[in-house]
Structure 1
Amino acid sequence: MAQDHQADRIVANYLKNRGYQQTEAALRKEAPGTAAGQAGSSSSNAWAPRNGAKVSIPDYILFHNENEANNPSGYQQSYGRLRKWIDNSIDRYKLELRRVLFPIFVHAYLDLVERGLREHAKNFMEAFKADHVELHNQDVLRLSAVTEPQHVAENEVAQNYKSSSFHLRMSQYCFELLLSFLQDNKFMLILRIVNEHVSIRIDALEADASDNEGDIAAEGDGSGDKSTDSQIEFQTITKLQLGKLPPDQPFYAEMERQIKLEQPPDAAELLNEIEKVKQEPRVDAPSILYPPRKLLDIPAAINELREVRNRVHITAQTPVSICAYTFHNTYGDLQTLTISPDASKVAAGFRDSFIRMWHLDAHERHGMNPGPRSQVDKAPKESPAIRRLIGHTGPVYATSFSADQRYLVSSSEDQTARLWSLDTMSNVVVYKGHNYPVWDASFSQQGWYFATASHDKTARLWSCDHIYPLRIFVGHLADVDTVRFHPNGAYILTGSSDRTARLWNVQSGNCVRSFRGHHGSVQTVAFAPDGRTIATAGDDRAIMLWDLSSGKRIKKMIGHTDMIYSLEFSQDGAILASGGADNTVRIWDVKKADTKEIGGVKRNAQGNIIQRPPQSLVSTYPTKQTPIYSLRFTRSNILIAMGAFTVG
């Protein structure tokens, strides 16, 4: 109780020092046991008057004006006046103040719907939705379908906003202007929304107007992230198991036995590499069961050890080496490109429903005659180095190699996924379950399991020995465009046209992280090799880096001038490569902290930005006219880029 009185005195002194009257009298009037007094002790939704400190505004000010609360037109009138006041503000503060309008708009509309004021809610939506369609068009469309009180409880978007806090950054002066305007005009309905659903953090410096993007991202803003984008958090943080799987001891023991038996020239180095793998720490390792590896895989595993041993560490002094494959006479027909883990094979899906296979290594052609290595062409008479896989009845949108490179999974507009044997070059299983085109398919790094993403707004988990899905991941509000497995196989990451990426637990089927911040569809996602960082990108040309443990955004990287198709981390996780429709491959230093992200811009005496610090972009490699569809770092850290040449 003493703490409650002390908090009230802090609030009263703060507001009184800034010219707000009647606060002390209101505090004294409220008895400690009343609902208002009890609400005043809560600090879960607190205003932040200065850096590093938060002060709770008791709810007594929210019920001060009962006439406004009982007025069905109160929201429309108060919101309209706030909007007009912001529009008439000077340009220096207008953009910063506008960011508070969207959460007020959402919760005002939902409150009207919950109170059964259908016509007032409809009029409110029609009057003000145009203000937010540019940045929040999909959310506005979904909310406009919520017209009855029961809809609020049933609609996922409405429930997300009702149970979440909208995070904003605002300068000290703008914060005081806003608070003064709301109190002076007794807009208690809006004050209630701001207190319950908006968390404002005060910056000592004014926000940069050029950063007015209105992002929405899960889990609030990241530690050290000083961007001015608004963010919203939707789910409770749950602990993840992100560690590597324990090594297959019998398999490695057999590898050691064969190496000692054959005694290759680099036997000592190979045995040393095996010991390193066996001694790696296995903190937070999940319990995922996979079939034991076969003895037939030992030669490939030994070659993999050699590649790892010879891995190049990419630094500023040793830039990345890139090998680019351009596919001619295929633009418009070529839908997807995938290269095998050892970079010996390429699979391509085409609009005419075929899959074509190229064997890039002469030793891996399975008896086929060597073809030209200078370029890969689709010619009227196909080279013997090319094999066609026939089975789908619609365009093939995705292909993925298994870990042992004996199988390929593909997905198509025909609503199926198919498993192909690369030993016999034939279709062995057809997987049916999706009701609409399947946009993506991806094997786990351990093989055996694969996942698909579809226009039916779901992703599904499959295994090679079952024709039905093991899990169905439901939660996205639009097409699921891409799917990837976590390195340890315990989670899958999906990107969607609803502008979000989600992380799913493959054992429970639950969504454990939701990443929001993009302004367009999330077309590509990637895991860092350690499994603790992800990257997302897509239509909005921005790359976002996220920390999986906390769900917070690390930074946002901008440089592409068109849609981004592919992301890939280097084998040591220090470099991220991106490729897209702007005909470039770009290399990013993900370990480098951008000073723009932490507010380290240079300003003149008037506070205007005079110089921006360097970004994480390391280098840009343009092609002539080749959009980059796919990227892959080999185990030795050589980057392979692939795309289709465009004519004209």
Structure 2
Amino acid sequence: MEDEEMERKVQQYLHRKGFRLTELALQEERNRLSTTSLSDVSLSRPDNDPARYYDGYNKLRSWAYNSLDQYKHELLRVLYPAFIHCFMDLVSEGHTLEARAFFLKFREDHELMHSRDLQKLEGTLSPLHLEEMDLARSLRENKFRIKLCEYSYELLLQYLQKTQALVMLGIINERIIFEVSAGQPSLISDDADVVALVGTSKDLAKQINQKEVHWGLLEDSVEERMEKALSDSDRAEAESKDADAEDNNKKKSSEGGKQGGPLNKKLKKDKLVGATGKNTKSETSMISAAPRVKPELTLPATPVEVEQSILEDLRNRAQLNNLALPSVSFYTFLNTHNGLNCSSISNDGSLVVGGFSDSSVKVWDMAKIGQPAKTSSSQGENGSSQDERLSSTSEGKRPYTLFQGHSGPVYSAAFSPFGDFLLSSSSDSTIRLWSTKLNANLVCYKGHNYPVWDVQSSRPLFCQCLA
């Protein structure tokens, strides 16, 4: 008791002095020690008493429903994983009648949000069913991730410590991963998103990424037949041109035989140029040729009229290789975590800009993608350099130029016709003009009373905004 009183006084002192980071560090250390102490508790479960699952879950359920209204909805999130695994543990231990009674008794608590899963698990009556059913196997092999606020997590820990509910303690330690966040509890409307099943022993995303990917044309496809026809026609055309050229060379050699050396040198040069042209063409066709991939499924039969339309479309397509690059580029933003609000591309396609919810504007130079990036700096409205915000080594390697100056989410960004200027609008009711050459903010346009949702520029530089 004295230790708890001392910790409380220390925390009050840190809070009064404003040592926020130290207070958070102390809180995290206390949570870590509490979790460790929970993990060290003996989790032995008697094998001859199926009623322990009913008693443990019923007490946890009563405590959660009788908690403070502000934190009740977060604590109720723990009940569904506890209910599911209590039921499956009873089934795996062979207590079929007890498992059935437990399922029917508490099923109504989770019918609203998990009715489909409950319908599938309702027919589970033996340990063999748990192994054969995909849903049950997934629930047994993976863990639930539940988001709680810091105070809700502490309330749960205190309950488990005081009651020493070993069954619930074992299930929570083995089957649930908590994501504890500081601040107020989340909204009730977020309950569907804060409880998720995450892979631990078998990560589905990892399996997909490890699968071998084949690229190329499918064997015996319309595209392959078209490519064969084109290659055959090109080969016949090349042979006819070579034959005509050889006949012309013979005629010229017979007519100009008296001229001697100069004509012979010209003929040798023509042969060399022809050979070089052949090599270039063969290399181009070799580069453009795609590998053949054997289809895993039988290709469906294609009607004659559909095949003819496809062949006509293929004839009109441009052949792409390293000598004939595409004229259209597509860019994809990855891992933006719902923070990207807008994007734009300069007229020449060399620059790409993105506006984000954290009030930042980021510009990527496509010519520098993949190259070591240098530390870039941007200037705010007052012209002062923001290097101190970009001076860390981790941020100095960013592949983009960061523009900071807005105080709210950026809703729109647009380049000038030549790409040397950039306009951005934000929820802070301002529009900012940036220089992509100087990496600086030139002007801040104020006067709007509401967020500026869209902005466009034209030649000469003219701003058209939508507030």
With structure 1 as the length reference, what TM-score do the two structures score? 0.33
Q: By percentage of residues, which structure has more helix?
A: 2
TM-score, with length taken from structure 2: 0.43
Considering only CA atoms, is the larger Rg found in Structure 1 or Structure 2?
2
